[in-house]
Amino acid sequence: MTGRQTILVLVLCWGSGVNVLQAQTHRVDAIFREWDRSDSPGCALGVVQNGQLAYERGYGVANIHTGKPVTTETVFYLASVSKQFTAATMALLALDGRIDLDADVRNYVPELPDYGDRITIRHLIHHTSGLRDYLTLMELAGMALDEEHSRDEVLDLISRQGAPNFTPGERHLYSNTGYFLIPIIVERVTGQSLRRFADERIFGPLGMALTHFHDDFQHQLPNRALSYRRTSDGLVELAFLEKFDQVGSGGVLSTVRDLARWDRNFYDPDVGGEPFLALLHRRGDLTDGDTLSYAFGLRIADYKGLRTVSHGGSMMGFKTHILRFPDQRFSVICLCNLEQIDPGDLAHRVADVYLAYTFDRTLQDFAGEYYASELGMTWSLQVREGDLFLEQPDTTLALASAGGDAFTHPRGATLRFTRDAGGPVTGFSLDAGRVSGLQFVKRR
């Protein structure tokens, strides 16, 4: 091949790559088109590949009154996405030898009642403590979130509870109370607020200059998104965060660009090193031996055959989600300021665009012909453009990943695939409401 021919091939390959990228970004923009307007709240999106932002864009506005657009430097309230940072402080202190994750929480917070069974810091992190959720308690007690309440008031409410929901470690029940207590532990162990400790050990070292635990509602930020709810009367601004400044269960303010720096730390850990990453991904256990999908403020699962690490957040109009595919070094960050938006769904749809080819390969495990002797019929499952389809004579239906080897049928049924010892899929069990356990055997 001559030099001129080599250059021509390189140009053609480069042009093909550009066309693929353009097609991907057009498809992603179409996902957010509904909110890509100057009169609507919307989302900030970051697509991270190999530690770098491969695509970033804002859709809609951060403030309806000023018309200021959403960008990837707009500051959002992260809601429960904050929990991974709160849990990270416990991981750092444990690795420092300054706390014992298996110690009784009352060693650090003696105000809590002694219910007869030890509640550990791990129980708090994994939502297995049984402690009643403080936000629900506040609502039941008439403590409005749009009014100012001190941490001591909330701790007193928690401490007045006569019993937990269940014996610690017996069940997993999502409770914000565990993450409310962690900042108290941090402060009593280090003499620093959660905000200051996280600044010094996490946000500062990673260059997350626009990120902090917002523990002072009087601290004003110039580039902060407001949140909204769409009603029959139009958009309503949700302003309770003007006075709510409890942190731990939520409370982190951040941007897409800063969160991309946090994402990079999961591969090149400037903060914590490999032991820190291993602990963050340590899933909780129940007393009956079951292992949870919940780790340190992170959910460990899979999607269309690929391993995922994620967490979402939702509070008073702020809707947030970080979805990571660690084996592909690919992540989607989606921060929104409208209550009706589902950022988790959007993040998965963005992943569908970028990982379509990879999904095609992993989903091939499930493709084939399946026969149900009880029905006397065969179902055909095929893979196209990163999705698994059920093809029948009169219709073709897309199946949605439900985690693991399970998929849901758009008409409400669930297919749970089975494998032999070597790994290949051998069939599936169908649950369809009033019919369950229907067996399909893979023929080819």
Residues labelled as active-site residues = 80
Please name the helix (run of DSSP H) or strand (run of DSSP E) that holds residue 438, with its range, or none: strand 435-442
- Give the whole-angstrom CA distance, residue 220 versus residue 137: 28
Residue by residue, DSSP assigns 9-56 as HHHHHHHHHHHHHHHHHHHHHHHTGGG-STTSB-EEEEEEETTEEEEE
Residue by residue, DSSP assigns 51-83 as TEEEEEEEESEEETTTTEEP-TT-BEE-GGGGH
CA triplet 358, 362, 366: central angle to 5 degrees? 145
**What single-letter amino acid sits at 105?**
V
- Give the whole-angstrom CA distance, residue 213 versus residue 83: 11
Query: Of 128, 131, 245, nearest to 181 (Cα)?
Result: 131
- Give the whole-angstrom CA distance, residue 33 versus residue 300: 30
Q: Return all residues near 373 (Cβ < 8 A) that are at least 6 apart.
A: 439, 441
Going by the DSSP 8-state scheme, the letter that residue 125 receives in this structure is H
Instruction: At 240, list the tokens.
Output: 């309770």
The pair phi, psi for residue 87, each rounded to 5°, is: -65, -35
Q: How many CA atoms lie within 13 A of 418 on its CB side?
A: 13
